[in-house]
Structure 1
Amino acid sequence: MDLGTVFLILLLVIVAIFLGVAVTLGILVSRGVIGLAKFSKPRIESAKRSALKVRASSSTGPVAEILKQRVALQESLEATHRSLGVAQSTGQYTGNLESVFKTLQQTAAVMEHQLIVAQREPEPAVQALYAKTLSVQVEQITQTARGVRNALASAGAPTAEVDLKDLTRTLEIEASMLKNWSKTYTDLGED
């Protein structure tokens, strides 16, 4: 091997190591950024909800009513989302409740947009009209969300009571059959 070949091999090894380190660092940084974004998103949403609650309690007039409707809408959907998630994670039958909730979320998104428009309305009389009109629709959405949670709760209840006496009797029969089978099997081995 001449000196040029050795130099070329060393150069290729150094480039391969550099590329390996660069790719590894790139993956670690991207996963860290994505992980940080996933970790911080719920906290940002929580901070926004808390700020909205404070604004709703400190405001007066029709703006306060609109802000309270936004808070009620968000809290109701969040509670329903958590309930549905828990039910699904435990394997509880949810039927069509997930699709009902998705439709409810879409409707709530439209309502949230309308509430924001109402909140930004400069004239208090128009804001009051918005607050009155939209409160009926917000109440319908929150009632439907509560209905989804109630349906999940009723589906989570036991469907039939277990008769423990029958279960105990069945268990005793099975135990006696196993005992007899074991005795018969042992007796066959002695012959």
Structure 2
Amino acid sequence: MEAALIIMALMVLFTFLGLGVWVTVKVVGAAKRGVDRTITQARRTVEDTSLKARSFGQVGVVGALAQIRLDLRMSMRSTQQALYQGVQTDASLRESIGLFERLSAHGHELDDELKRLEQEPDKKRIADRLPELRERADRVVQASDSLRWAARDRARKFAEDDLSVLSAQIEVESGALRDWSRESVDDLAGWPAEPTAAPAPAPPGPERGQAPAAALPKPPERTGYPWEKTAHPVRPETTT
């Protein structure tokens, strides 16, 4: 019996140890991915700033290559962000993301080639290839822009349709709220209409030969409404 308890305790201990190791690995992996994303974002920011500086500060093939790379990167990045954000609410964009991934392969290949050419000392050879490189970049940018604007137009169309339906529903509800009849108030409050009081029995008439008694005016009854709170009686204060 004691051996079984010891074995069970060891199994529980190993289970907790294994769970602790698994949690540690997950935490370390998440932290590493966070650091990698931060480093990638910082490197990307530095490279974009350098490209902007070269595109504005240098003339000739060096400035032209920097501008082509900058236009390519900005378009692809904007399209990627639009598609991956839009697919969270519109699953039909998954096919568009597949096409964008194929387009990204061409974009990365072209960007790497442009980056290598920036280090090429033969500027004449680069100038000869510049029209062909710019034409390839324009095709990639046009395809990327087409996907991005199509996704945005789709999202805007869905938003406009939803707003139209919502506006029509609000107009119907507003018309119902403007019905001031008592029946509408009773229905909205959820209370039945007040029952009609039964007529009071007529007092017996005066006997023959007697004068009719003067009738006292009956005080008007106050009509209550369902939304009014019931007044609570005031308790007399006690003196100790």
The residue type paired with residue 85 of structure 1 is Y
Shift of 1:83: 0.7
Alignment of 1:1-191 (within 5 A): 12=7, 15-16=10-11, 19-56=14-51, 57-58=53-54, 60=58, 61-91=60-90, 93-94=92-93, 96-155=95-154, 156-157=156-157, 158-159=160-161, 162=164, 167=169
Between the two proteins, the alignment pairs up a number of residues equal to 183
In the aligned structure 2, how far is the partner of 1:130 from the partner of 1:25?
58
* Greater relative CO (CA pairs within 8 A, separation 6+): 1
CA-to-partner distance for each residue in 1:128-164, whole Å, 9 max, x for gaps? Answer: 3344421221122112211212112221222598388
Q: Is there any run of 5+ residues in structure 2 with no aligned partner, and where? A: 193-240
Where does structure 1 lack aligned partners over 5 or more consecutive residues? 187-191
8 Å CA contact 1:52–1:67 kept in 2: the answer is no
Q: CA RMSD in A?
A: 4.0
TM-score by length of 2: 0.57
| Alpha-carbon distance, 1:87 to partner | 1.6
2: CA distance, partners of 1:164 / 1:29:
49
Q: Distance in 2 between matches of 1:20 and 1:140?
A: 57
The offset of 1:31, in angstroms, is 0.6
SS at match of 1:89: coil
Asked whether the 8 Å contact 2:84–2:97 carries over to 1, the reply is: no
Q: In terms of mean alpha carbon deviation, does 98-107 or 53-62 score higher?
A: 53-62
Give the direction of change, closer, same or farther, for the CA distance of 1:69–1:24 in structure 2 (3 Å limit).
same
Shift of 1:98: 2.5
8 Å contact kept, 1:73–1:141? yes
Shift of 1:89: 1.3
More helix by share: 1
Q: Percent identity?
A: 14
Pick closer, same or farther for the CA change 1:63–1:166 going to 2, 3 Å: closer
Tell me the alpha carbon deviations over residues 8-60 of structure 1, each in whole angstroms, 9 at most, x when there is no partner: 66875675465335423321221122212332233222212222123221473
Q: Displacement of 1:127 after TM fit?
A: 2.9
**Are the equivalent residues in 2 in contact too, given 1:62–1:127 (CA < 8 A)?**
yes
129-138 or 10-19: which moved more?
10-19
Shift of 1:79: 0.7
In the superposition, the TM-score normalised over structure 1's length comes to 0.69
Aligned equivalents of 2:8 and 2:66: distance in 1?
Answer: 63
Looking at structure 2, the residues matched to 103 and 30 of structure 1 have their Cα atoms a distance apart, in angstroms, of 33
Alpha-carbon shift at residue 69 of structure 1 (Å): 2.3
